[in-house]
Amino acid sequence: MIQPLHACLILSSLLFCIGLAGVLARHNTILMLIGVELMLNAANVNFIAFWRYGAWAGQSAGVMFAIFSIAVAAAEIAVGLALVILIFRHVRTTSIDRVDGMKG
């Protein structure tokens, strides 16, 4: 029987890898941002899991970290999507393959 902490960690690893697969395999910028969000949330799962099942009682660092991480992720997606919209206005596409105009 798997321990609850291990179960949470496996869940977060799988979530991370789904996000990674999304970033690597899809060529749409918005989808890549979604993948990044999933990876960030996998990290959050770890914070909460270690807070809940970790051995250090009476410490709230895990929850605090998750809250700050959510705030930073919100900032990240706002700026990221603004960039996507800006790029779209110039090249009329959101595909990552078409935005290679500065390739050396």
Of 45-84, binders to other proteins (CB under 8 A) are 45, 48-49, 51-55, 57, 60, 63-64, 66-68, 70-79, 81-84
Binding-residue pattern over the window 19 to 38 for other proteins, x denoting contact by CB under 8 A: xxxxxxxxxx-xx-xxx-xx
User: Using a CB cutoff of 8 Å and minimum separation of 24, what contacts does 63-66 make?
Assistant: none
Residue 6 and residue 9: Cα distance in Å, rounded?
5
Q: Taking the complex as a whole, how short is the minimal distance between the CB of residue 103 and other proteins, in angstroms? A: 16
Alpha-carbon Rg of the chain, whole angstroms?
17
Residue 76 and residue 81: Cα distance in Å, rounded?
9
102 binds other proteins (CB under 8 A): no
Q: Considering only CA atoms, which of 14, 6, 3 is closest in space to residue 41?
A: 14
Q: Taking the complex as a whole, how short is the minimal distance between the CB of residue 99 and other proteins, in angstroms? A: 12
Nearer to other proteins, 1 or 102 (CB): 1
Whether 62 contacts 51, CB under 8 Å:
yes
State the number of binding residues for other proteins (CB under 8 A). Answer: 75
97 binds other proteins (CB under 8 A): yes
